[in-house]
Chain A
Amino acid sequence: MAVPETESMQDLRQRQPRFSGLESGHRACQGCGQALAARLVTEAAGPDVMIANATGCLEVFTTAWPQSAWRVPWMHSVFENAAAIAAGMEAALKVQGRQSKVLAFGGDGGTFDIGFQALSGMLERNHNVLYVCFDNEAYMNTGIQRSSSTPHAAMTTTSPPGKRRMGKRHLKKDLLSIISAHHIPYAASSSVAYPADIRRKVRRAMAIEGPTFLMIHSPCPLGWGHEGALTIEVARLAVQTGLFPVIELERGTLTDCMPIRELHPVTEYLKLQQRFRHLFAPDDPRATEELEHLQALADYNIDTYGLRGERPDPLDTEGADTVHRGGKVS
């Protein structure tokens, strides 16, 4: 549906949060975590945005010409330049005195790997851009190849288990620490299992004049090997086991995290997914060793970020339905 020309930007803002920049009817798979996360982000960001999108599933399933699922200005250039395209958009808006907020969307391949340099440059130059990484932990658009975000021991088509391998040999890159080392105003992780948390963090980032970064853990049923109906459950267990810490960092310092009240062992998360099935092979000592390794990684996260806690619920999103931008209430 096109936005009626008679409606002013002010009217559109009044309609929030019902407005969604990403319309239904696109071609994402059932249970796609990224499609859900992108909808939640655009709902929270409102209509007065423009998006630079890296190549990937999101671009493919929303745009096949002559159709588009986007109700906000949206542009895709190539795989590795979403951050630089966003920087150019922002520079143009600035010189024209226009007020829209620029968002950049990329998957983990476009963010952790091939688009990493452009992202670092954009953050360093202090562009007023919210970069959102939809992290589904592999190159899913090309058919499930390992990225630097793929977790240790996970099976992908380029990190298959076999007689001499137990899936991916290397660790998941700690991207958030690298992002945070740019000392940008705000960097955070979130999970598609916690929509209110996503909304709160998007609104927080939207209110900041400067570069902000949000990484959203987004299960891919096809790539992870779980039922589409289990997306939320799988995503929640990633958080509740400590394997995917949900945290906030301001100017390089850890300021908050989502506390885990009921801690789950990593096996509860892993056993739901075919990408880890080789870790449950009976009588394979390598499997036992890798499970211990993954539990140790979760324990490390829990310890490093102080994830155990009985603190107030971070999902309490008081005032979440108001968008603040540049310090002004719109």
Chain B
Amino acid sequence: MRQALEGSQAVARAVASCRPGVVAAYPITPQTHIVENISKLVADGLCDCEMVSVESEFSAASVVLGAAATGSRAYTATSSQGILLMAEVLYNIAGMRIPLVLTCANRAVSAPISIWNDQQDSMAVRDAGWIQLYCADNQEATDATVQAFRIAERMELPVMVCMDGFVLTHTMEPIDLPDQDQVDGFLPPYHFSRTLDSGHPMTLGGLAGPDYYAEIRHAHHRALLASETEIVSADRDWAELTGRASGGLLAVEGDADAELAVLAIGSVVGTLREAMQEYEGAKAKLIKLRCFRPFPVEALQQACRGVRRLIVLERALSPGGGGILGTEVRAALSELSDPPVVYNYAVGLGGRDVPMDLYPRLLEAVESGQGERFSIFDVELEKLPEEDR
């Protein structure tokens, strides 16, 4: 049934419908509404879980790790500084192959302190060994939350569902919430093969010497690569059940034969979709990258066949390096015999508005045909002293 819900509220309701055993979280803007909404659902008896209000994000990640290893479906959510404080535990969770789900309400990282949206936080932990799914709108965030639990539990890998802070978390949209029966049919009761149980004692998280470490890392890498199939099938099965698909690994919209393509992740996709209809003229296609980890190399190569110019938009950067997404896209496409010229831009950093007229400005910028290694597209250099421009 479609209801007008705030993004955070919809995600909280989706989490509750997955029947978590333990939820642990710590308040941080713009994630706070998610944990507030879950707390209220627990208080009203609509979510029968242990809600652990911890003293830090570090402990939030640790509590859900302990709970998932002890046989309970577990969930946490955070943003920005919170995800960085969790970082050590995030690597640990993934290395131990613990299935749990985390929502990252994407926010810029300090300094300068900013509560507003970009994706520097989840990008900073891209190598932690988690699956990362990026949501273009709140319906996708709702659906991805349920899918994430199934993917996590089947693969024994943690899943991070990334949704843009404020732009999605604090925005009301009509949302189709899945019925409890639909979720129960899609997501079986939690099962973890290495559950801690005194009847069958097991040691988790032991030391690995140089004779085993590389093999364990290899297995983890292979598991992430193999999860592509699971991510696709979760989205397909969900579409059969609800009629809604989010695009699996990535989705291509617009003119299939276009020689110009724009690749983006997160809520910018929605803006671009509208803009491409508004500003007709250029023949272009839109590539919505939903899955960033594992990085869907083959699907991306497929989507870029015949493309001459590719604009890669991202909301984060690796200072001194350049674009994060752009660099990976370039590497993946370099295997093609005739790869497109890539224009890599960061936009919307620290909550800067990404308006519809970004699109015609991009079209103008790529007319050169020379490509752009990386730049911040919407930077206003006149605000900086001469030496910093």
Decide yes or no: A76 and B205 within 8 Å by CB, A50-B196, A92-B21, A94-B50 being known contacts: yes
Once the chains are docked, how many angstroms separate the CA of A46 from the CA of B94? 31
Once the chains are docked, how many angstroms separate the CA of A242 from the CA of B168? 61
Chain A residues near B74 (CB, 8 Å)?
Answer: 88, 92
Question: Which of B54, B58, B207 is the one whose CB lies under 8 Å from A63?
Answer: B207
A68 within 8 A of B: yes
Chain A residues near B68 (CB, 8 Å)?
Answer: 88, 92
Question: Which of B64, B70, B200, B203 is the one whose CB lies under 8 Å from A70?
Answer: B203
Nearest-neighbour CB distance to chain A for B56, whole angstroms, equals 6
B89 within 8 A of A: yes
Chain A residues near B200 (CB, 8 Å)?
Answer: 3, 5, 73
Decide yes or no: A89 and B66 within 8 Å by CB, A95-B49, A95-B72 being known contacts: yes
Q: Which residues of B contact A (CB under 8 A)?
A: 21-22, 24, 48-50, 52-56, 58-59, 62-72, 74, 88-89, 92, 96, 196-209, 212
Chain B residues near A86 (CB, 8 Å)?
Answer: 66
| Chain B residue nearest to A121 in the complex (CB) | B55
| B206 & A73 in contact (Cβ 8 Å cutoff) | no
A303 within 8 A of B: no
| A95 & B21 in contact (Cβ 8 Å cutoff) | yes
Could you pull out 16 A-B pairs where Cβ atoms are within 8 angstroms?
A3-B201, A52-B66, A59-B206, A63-B207, A72-B201, A75-B196, A75-B204, A76-B205, A78-B88, A87-B62, A88-B74, A89-B70, A98-B71, A117-B55, A117-B56, A118-B56
Question: Which of A66, A68, A91, A120 is the one whose CB lies under 8 Å from B63?
Answer: A91
| A125 & B201 in contact (Cβ 8 Å cutoff) | no
| Chain A residue nearest to B215 in the complex (CB) | A65
Contact with B along A72-87 (1 / 0, CB 8 A): 1111111011001111
Q: Which residues of A contact B (CB under 8 A)?
A: 2-3, 5, 9, 47-50, 52, 59-60, 62-66, 68, 70-78, 80-81, 84-96, 98, 100, 117-118, 120-121, 124-125
Chain B residues near A125 (CB, 8 Å)?
Answer: 52-54
Q: A78-B89, A84-B58 are in contact. List 19 more A-B contacts (CB 8 A).
A: A48-B198, A70-B203, A73-B198, A73-B202, A75-B204, A81-B59, A85-B65, A87-B54, A87-B59, A88-B66, A89-B69, A91-B21, A92-B67, A95-B22, A95-B49, A96-B72, A118-B62, A121-B56, A125-B53
Chain B residues near A98 (CB, 8 Å)?
Answer: 71
Question: Which of B64, B66, B67, B207 is the one whose CB lies under 8 Å from A65?
Answer: B207
Question: Which of A52, A62, A63, A72 is the one whose CB lies under 8 Å from B198?
Answer: A72
| A76 & B70 in contact (Cβ 8 Å cutoff) | no
| A92 & B207 in contact (Cβ 8 Å cutoff) | no
Once the chains are docked, how many angstroms separate the CA of A93 from the CA of B71? 8
| A81 & B72 in contact (Cβ 8 Å cutoff) | no
Chain A residues near B199 (CB, 8 Å)?
Answer: 3, 5, 9
Chain B residues near A62 (CB, 8 Å)?
Answer: 206
| Chain B residue nearest to A59 in the complex (CB) | B207
Decide yes or no: A91 and B203 within 8 Å by CB, A77-B92, A84-B62, A117-B55 being known contacts: no
Chain B residues near A96 (CB, 8 Å)?
Answer: 21, 70-72
| A92 & B209 in contact (Cβ 8 Å cutoff) | no
| A91 & B67 in contact (Cβ 8 Å cutoff) | yes
| B52 & A88 in contact (Cβ 8 Å cutoff) | yes
Nearest-neighbour CB distance to chain B for A2, whole angstroms, equals 8
| B65 & A77 in contact (Cβ 8 Å cutoff) | yes
Question: Which of B22, B70, B202, B212 is the one whose CB lies under 8 Å from A66?
Answer: B212
Once the chains are docked, how many angstroms separate the CA of A81 from the CA of B62? 6
Chain A residues near B48 (CB, 8 Å)?
Answer: 95
| Chain A residue nearest to B66 in the complex (CB) | A88
| Chain A residue nearest to B72 in the complex (CB) | A92
| Chain B residue nearest to A70 in the complex (CB) | B203
| A63 & B206 in contact (Cβ 8 Å cutoff) | yes
Once the chains are docked, how many angstroms separate the CA of A94 from the CA of B66? 13
Once the chains are docked, how many angstroms separate the CA of A2 from the CA of B198? 11
| A95 & B198 in contact (Cβ 8 Å cutoff) | no
Nearest-neighbour CB distance to chain B for A41, whole angstroms, equals 15
Question: Which of A84, A92, A124 is the one whose CB lies under 8 Å from B71?
Answer: A92
Nearest-neighbour CB distance to chain B for A134, whole angstroms, equals 18
Decide yes or no: A63 and B196 within 8 Å by CB, A84-B59, A118-B59, A121-B55 being known contacts: no
Chain A residues near B21 (CB, 8 Å)?
Answer: 91-92, 95-96
Nearest-neighbour CB distance to chain A for B61, whole angstroms, equals 8
Sort A-B residue pairs by CB-CB distance and give the 4 closest, nearest first.
A88-B66, A63-B206, A121-B55, A84-B62
Chain B residues near A73 (CB, 8 Å)?
Answer: 196-198, 200-202
Decide yes or no: A88 and B24 within 8 Å by CB, A47-B198, A63-B206, A64-B209 being known contacts: yes
Chain A residues near B197 (CB, 8 Å)?
Answer: 73, 100
| B55 & A120 in contact (Cβ 8 Å cutoff) | yes
Chain B residues near A91 (CB, 8 Å)?
Answer: 21-22, 24, 50, 52, 63, 66-67, 72
Once the chains are docked, how many angstroms separate the CA of A292 from the CA of B202? 50
| B207 & A60 in contact (Cβ 8 Å cutoff) | yes
Chain B residues near A66 (CB, 8 Å)?
Answer: 212
Question: Which of B55, B62, B198 is the one whose CB lies under 8 Å from A85?
Answer: B62
| B55 & A64 in contact (Cβ 8 Å cutoff) | no
| B72 & A87 in contact (Cβ 8 Å cutoff) | no
Nearest-neighbour CB distance to chain A for B260, whole angstroms, equals 47
Chain B residues near A48 (CB, 8 Å)?
Answer: 198
Chain A residues near B49 (CB, 8 Å)?
Answer: 95
Nearest-neighbour CB distance to chain A for B71, whole angstroms, equals 6
| B203 & A63 in contact (Cβ 8 Å cutoff) | yes
Question: Which of B56, B88, B207 is the one whose CB lies under 8 Å from A64?
Answer: B207
Chain B residues near A90 (CB, 8 Å)?
Answer: 66
Nearest-neighbour CB distance to chain A for B16, whole angstroms, equals 14
| A124 & B55 in contact (Cβ 8 Å cutoff) | yes
Nearest-neighbour CB distance to chain A for B48, whole angstroms, equals 8
| A50 & B198 in contact (Cβ 8 Å cutoff) | yes
Chain A residues near B65 (CB, 8 Å)?
Answer: 77, 85, 88
Once the chains are docked, how many angstroms separate the CA of A50 from the CA of B69? 11
Once the chains are docked, how many angstroms separate the CA of A48 from the CA of B212? 31
Once the chains are docked, how many angstroms separate the CA of A64 from the CA of B199? 23
Once the chains are docked, how many angstroms separate the CA of A75 from the CA of B52? 20
| B67 & A89 in contact (Cβ 8 Å cutoff) | yes
| B201 & A88 in contact (Cβ 8 Å cutoff) | no
Nearest-neighbour CB distance to chain A for B136, whole angstroms, equals 32
Decide yes or no: A88 and B22 within 8 Å by CB, A50-B198, A59-B207, A63-B206 being known contacts: yes
Once the chains are docked, how many angstroms separate the CA of A42 from the CA of B53? 30
Once the chains are docked, how many angstroms separate the CA of A199 from the CA of B205? 27
